[in-house]
Amino acid sequence: MAVMTRVGRIFALFSGFRPGFNGSDLIQCLRNSNQRTIRPGWNSMVKCRDSKMRRPFSNNVIFYDTEFSNLDPYTGEILSIGMVKISGEELYLELEHTGPVGDWVKEHIIPTLKSPRATREEARQRIKEFVGDGKPYAVSYVNAYDTLYFYKLFGVDNQPCYWLPVDLSSIIFGVGKDPEKLLEFAAELGINTKQYTQHHALHDARLVRDVYMKFFVIEPTQS
């Protein structure tokens, strides 16, 4: 009886947050999982790799990353942005910037910026054309600054993406992994991390896409 009560609590938890998740899904998940734990109390948890328990709310998403001039939100601005769709279509832009730049950025980011610079207006136009009118959820990794500077670029009322951003590091945190170790998490998913150049906006956006799609078992045709 105690075990069934705990299973019932787990079912209530997942059925409340995962549309379409039912009792047979839970039992199958428990049977198929190579690593499962049922603990007493409301902290009960099922460790399971069943994809139904990891189904995202929507596949209307776009992945992006930015490099920016510094961490001061009052003076910082986007220097480059990379965006990737589920389909694999990509956009990469480097923006004009004449303001102050942090020491770390001078050393690690500025030398990598080798493409023609777009004005901020040109960048806004090209990003809007790339994103389209569907208002996708914008997914990035540790998205506090990406979101902030993206909003500074477009303004509050002209955002091309849905107002609620999605943070990949929070997803990693939620499955019990260290959110600071994205490359390690990617490697555990079977992704070859040597193909990405760190702190390059387009490469980082590709990595975010690949990890997200691998984790949620999404095929490009599901966009």
Question: Which residue do the tokens 């990353």 mark?
Answer: 65
Contact 78, 66 (CB under 8 A): yes
Structural tokens at position 217: 């078992």
Structural tokens at position 158: 């002209």
Beta strands in the chain (DSSP E): 61-68, 78-85, 90-95, 117-118, 137-140, 166-167
pLDDT in tens, 186-195: 999 999 999 9
Name the band, by pLDDT with cuts 50, 70 and 90, for residue 221: low
pTM: 0.78
Name the band, by pLDDT with cuts 50, 70 and 90, for residue 222: low
Structural tokens at position 187: 């490697």
Percent of the residues in the chain that have a pLDDT greater than 70, as a whole number: 75
pLDDT in tens, 87-142: 999 999 999 999 999 999 999 999 999 999 999 999 999 999 999 999 999 999 99
Structural domains of the chain, ranges and CATH numbers in brackets: 2-52 (no CATH), 61-222 (3.30.420.10)
Give the count of beta carbons closer than 10 Å to the beta carbon of residue 90: 15
Collapsed DSSP state (helix, strand, coil) of residue 89: coil
Contacts of 114 (CB under 8 A, 6+ apart): 94
Collapsed DSSP state (helix, strand, coil) of residue 131: helix
How far lies 11's CA from each of 33, 41, 208, in Å? 16, 14, 30
Tell me: pLDDT of 23 over 90: no
Tell me: pLDDT of 45 over 50: no
